[in-house]
A and B are shown apart, each in its own frame.
Chain A
Amino acid sequence: MLLQVNDLKVEYHTKTKISYAVKGVSFRMEKGDILGIVGESGSGKSTMGLALMMQLPQTARFTGSVLFKDRDLVPMTFEELRKIKGREISTVFQEPMTSLNPLVRVGKQVEEILKIHDRSLTREVRKDKVLRMFRNVELQNPEEVYGKYPHELSGGMQQRVMIAMALMNHPDLLIADEPTTALDADVQTQILDLLKSINERYGTSIILISHDLRVVRQLCRKTLVMYQGMIVEQGDVEQIFEHPQHEYTKGLISALTKGEKESEDYETDAMLQVKDLTLYYNIKPEKLGQHRTRKYICRDMNFTVHTGEIVGLVGPSGSGKSSISRAILGLHRDYTGQILLKEPNPQMIFQDSASSLNPGRKIGWILEEPLKNLKDREQIAHVRKLSRVAELLGTDPAKEMPPDRLTARERKAIVRDMLTRVELPGEFISRYPDELSGGQKQRVNIALALIAGSGFVIADEPVSALDVTIQGQILELLLHLQKELNLSMLFISHDKAVVDRMCDKVVQLIPAGD
C-alpha cells in the first residue's frame, strides 16, 4: 500500500465564514498505480491535491489521516515534511511558465532539488544527473536547455523540465495537478505519453488531477470523481465512461459527447465581410540603419458572416485568431485587404472572464456604464425596444422618454432585463465581480457585450477557462441568446468539439510563413 487517505476533511477559515472544501474523503492507492481525480473547480479536487502535497494555505484546517508508506503525513512538522517533499512525493503544476523561477537557469533549478536532499553530491555529478534526466524526458539538446531561462523555452519544454525536476530523486509518488491544461492539444498528448512511459519505466505512482475526463481517460486506469467536496464515484475509468452511476458523472460525460450543430442556409445579407485580408506586423530593425521588415500573421483571408450566423475561427496558436478579431475591432491597423462591418458597435467576449470586469465596482454599475455613454438616438430606441423598457416601466415611449439619453430608471430596468436574459438573479446588481464564480462572471461578460444592443459579437475562447459542465451551460446560453436576438457571431476557439457544436460554418486559419 503506497497511499491510504482516511476521512480527510479540509476547511478554510476566514474572518467571516468557514467553507468546507473536502468533506471526508477516503481512498487508497497501490504502488505503481495511476489514479485520476476528476471534478470541476470548486469540487475540492485541487484542495485534495494540495493536501496530499501538504501545501495547504495557512487558512486551512484539516483532519483525518494521509498514510504515505505507513507514515501519517497530517501530524508531521514542516521540517519532517520537507524531507519527504521533492524526494518521495513530487509535484508537477498546471502553469509551467510561472512555476519556474524566471531569473534562474532551468538547469540550476532542477539541480537544486538534488542539492537540497543530498549534500554529498558534487557539482559535476549533479549536472550529469540533470542532463541524463533531461534526455529521459525527451528534451532535445539537454546541454543547451540546461543553460536556458524559462522564458526561452516553449510551454511543452517547460513542462518537461518540471517533470524532469519532479523525477530527479526518483519519488514514489508524482502528483500532477492539471499538468496539460495550459498546453496546446498536440503537446498535451506528448506530455501524457511521457507520464505514462515514466510510470512504466520507473514504477512511479501518479495521481493526475484534472477537470478533463478525456485527459484522465488517456492516462489513468482508475479514477475518482469528486463533486462538492466528496467522492461521488470511483473505480475503473472505462467502466465509469461506459456506465456512469452518479448524475453528476453522467452530466460530465454527456457534455463531452454533445452532437454537432446542423448547418442552416442563410439568405440574409452580410454582417461582416472580410476580403483578401492579410495581416502583418512591423518588426523594428535590429541593427541601426536596417529597414523595417514585415512579419506576416496570415494571408489572403476571405470569409463572410451573415446576419444571424455563427462562424467559427479555428487554428493553432499563432495563426492570427486574435489578431483578426483585433483588426475587425479596429485595434490592429497593419493589414491589407478589406473589412466591412455593418454593426457600428461590435462587442467582444474574452477567455478570461475576470479581466474585463472592474473589480472595484458592483455588477449593476458595470452593466450600466455602456448605457450611460449611448448618444445615438437610433441606438437608444433600439435598446429600449430590445429590453421592452416601456412595458417594464409602464411608460409611454412617445411622451416620457427623452430621445437622446436613457434615464437612470430606464438603465436600471435594462440591466435587470439583461441579467434575466443571461439567467442570473436580479440581486447580482449589488455584488462585486470577486463574489461570482467563473461561469457567472462569463455570464456578466455576455450581458455586458449585449446590453448596448450590439448585433455582432466576437467571442474569443469564451469557455476555454471554464469547467466542462459550466462550458456546456455557457454555450447553451450563447446559442439561446443568438436565436432570441438574431445575433451574428464570430466564435474563436481551439477546441474542435466546441466549434462543431456552436457554429454554422468554420474558417480554418493556417499560420503564414515569412
Chain B
Amino acid sequence: MRYILKKLLTLIVALLLISIVVFLAFSVLPADASIAKLGQNATPERIAALRAEMGLDQPVLVQYFRWISGAVRGDFGTSYQYTGTRVVDLVGGRIGTSAVLSLISLVMVVVISIPVGIFAAKRRSAPGRAAMTTVIHITMGVPSFFLGLLITYLFSLVLRWFTIGKYSSPAEDLAASISYLVFPAIAISLPKIAMTVKFLVSSIRSELHKDYVRTAYAKGCSRNRVFYGHVLKNSLVPVITFMGIIIAEIVAGSIVVEKVFSVPGIGMLLVTAITNRDYPVVEAVVLLIAVVVIVINFLVDVIYQIIDPRVRL
C-alpha cells in the first residue's frame, strides 16, 4: 500500500510538471494567439485590445494559474478557431472515437502477440527461426502511416470492405464504428505486435535456460506443465512493463493514423489545431495524452508489483 501511495504522489507531481511544461511551451512561442486570430496585417491597437480581452497581457504565472485552475475543473476555455465552442466540448466529442481506436489496437496487440510469441518461441529449427525473425523485423520496420495507406488501398479501394470517410461515432452506432476502426487499428497495432512478439520470444527463451526449469523437469513435470506452469508466467512479467511503453506508442501512433483514415478523433483534432494555432485546443489535447500515458504507466507499475513478489516493498 505504501508503495502505491508513494507512486501516486510521484504521479501527481509528474502531472503538475507536465502541465507547466505544456503551458510554458505555448506561452513562449513568438506568434501569439491574438496574431493567429487577427492575421499578420492587424493593427497594433486591435491586437492590444484583443490581448487584454484574452488575458494575454498578464504575467505568465497568473495566466498559468488561471489556466490550470480551469483545467482542473474541466474548463480549458474556448477554441480560437471555432469561436465560441468550448474546448471541452470539442475534445469530449472526439474522445470516444480515439479511446475505442486505442482500445481495439491494444486488444489486438495482446490477443495476437501472446499466442504468436508462444508459437514462435517453440520453433527450434534454424529455418523456422530465420523465417520468423525476418517477418518480425519487416513488420516492425514499416511505419504505421504507410501501413495505413496500404490497408486503405487494399481493403477500401480494391476489396471495398469499408468506405473511407464513411465513419459513424461509437455513440451513434457502436458496431458500425468498430467495424470501421478495425482497419486503422491494424495499421497502428501491427508493428507493435511484431515488437511484442520479439520481446516475448526473447523473454521466454531466456527463462527456459534458468535453473528452476531444470528443477521442474527433475520433479517429473511434463513439458507442457514446465512451459505453461512455470516458464510462461515468468516470461510475461517483463512484458507487462513493455506494455506500458506500447500503450504510450499506440496513443501517439493514432495521431497520424487518424488523419490517414480520416477518423475524427483526438489525433485529427490535434493536427488541425496545430496548423491553425488553436492553442487552447492544442494545450488541452497534449495535456490529455500526457495524463493518459502517465496514468497507464502508473497502473502498469501497480500491476507489476502485484504479480512479481520480488518488487513488493
Q: Is the CB of A85 within 8 A of B219?
A: yes
Q: Which B-chain residue is minimally distant from A87 (CB atoms)?
A: B220
Q: How far is the CA of A287 from the CA of B2 in the complex (A)?
A: 8
Contact across chains for B212 and A102 when beta carbons are under 8 A apart: yes
Q: For A82, what are the chain B residues with a Cβ–Cβ distance below 8 Å?
A: 220-222
Closest to A114 in B: B219
Those of B225-241 within 8 Å (CB) of chain A: 225, 229-230, 233-234, 237
List the A side residues contacting B218 at CB < 8 Å. Answer: 53, 55, 85-86, 90-91, 93
Which chain A residues lie closer than 8 Å to B73 at the CB level?
none
CA gap between A23 and B263 in the complex, in Å? 71
A209 CB to nearest chain B CB (Å): 14
The complex places the Cα of A79 from the Cα of B210 at a distance, in Å, of: 22
Interface flag for B39 (CB, 8 Å) = no
Instruction: Indicate if the CB atoms of A103 and B220 lie closer than 8 Å.
Output: no
Picked from A99, A103, A288, the residue with its CB within 8 Å of the CB of B214 is A99
A101 touches B216 (CB 8 A): yes
Interface magnitude class on chain B:
20 to 34
- Known A-B contacts A101-B230, A103-B237; the reply to A112 vs B211 at CB < 8 A is no
Provide the residues of chain B in CB contact with A103, threshold 8 Å.
233-234, 237, 307-309
User: Given A101-B234, A116-B225 in contact, is the A93-B211 Cβ separation under 8 Å?
Assistant: yes
**Which residues of chain B from 273 to 313 have a CB within 8 Å of any chain A CB?**
307-310
Q: Please name all residues of chain B whose beta carbon is closer than 8 Å to the beta carbon of A288 when the two chains form the complex.
A: 6, 9
- Chain A's interface: helix, strand, loop or mixed, by majority? mixed
- The answer to whether the Cβ of A135 comes within 8 Å of any Cβ in the partner chain is no
Partner of B217, one of A79, A85, A95: A85
In the assembled complex, the CB of A122 is this many whole angstroms from the nearest CB of chain B, namely: 19
The answer to whether A371 has its CB under 8 Å from any CB of chain B is no
Q: Tell me what chain B mostly uses at the interface: helix, strand, loop, or mixed.
A: helix
State whether the Cβ of B215 lies closer than 8 Å to any Cβ in chain A: yes
Residues in A neighbouring B225, C-beta threshold 8 A? 116
User: With contacts defined as CB atoms under 8 Å apart, how many contacts are there between chain A and chain B in the complex?
Assistant: 75
User: B215 touches which one: A93, A116, A286 (CB < 8 A)?
Assistant: A93
A96 CB to nearest chain B CB (Å): 9
Count of A residues near B, CB < 8 Å? Answer: 33
Task: Please name all residues of chain B whose beta carbon is closer than 8 Å to the beta carbon of A55 when the two chains form the complex.
Answer: 214, 217-218
Q: How far is the CB of A154 from chain B (nearest CB, A)?
A: 16
Rounded to whole Å, the gap between the CB of A116 and the closest CB of chain B is 5
Q: Report A-chain residues with C-beta under 8 Å of the C-beta of B216.
A: 101
How near does chain A come to B206, taking the closest CB pair, in angstroms?
Answer: 13
Contact between B212 and A99 (Cβ–Cβ < 8 Å)?
A: yes
A85 / chain B contacts, CB cutoff of 8 Å: 217-220
Within 8 A of B (CB), among A77-128: 78-79, 82-87, 90-91, 93, 95, 98-104, 112-113, 116-117
Distance (Å) between the CB of B135 and the closest chain A CB? 26
Using CB atoms, name the residue of chain A closest to B124.
A58
The 0/1 profile, CB within 8 Å of B marked 1, for residues 58-89 of chain A is 00000000000000000000110011111100
Would you give the 0/1 interface string for B44-82, flagging 1 where the beta carbon is closer than 8 Å to chain A?
A: 000000000000000000000000000000000000000
A98 touches B219 (CB 8 A): no
Closest Cβ neighbor of A104 among chain B residues: B230
Cross-interface CB contact of B219 among A102, A113, A151, cutoff 8 Å: A113
Contact of A83 among B220, B230, B309 (CB under 8 A): B220
Compute how far the CA of A100 lies from the CA of B223 in the bound complex, rounded to whole angstroms: 17
CB contact under 8 A between A116 and B220, given known A103-B309, A149-B309, A149-B310: yes
List 13 A-B residue pairs with CB atoms under 8 Å apart, sorted by A's residue number. Answer: A79-B222, A82-B221, A86-B221, A93-B211, A93-B218, A95-B211, A99-B212, A103-B307, A112-B219, A112-B229, A116-B219, A117-B220, A149-B310
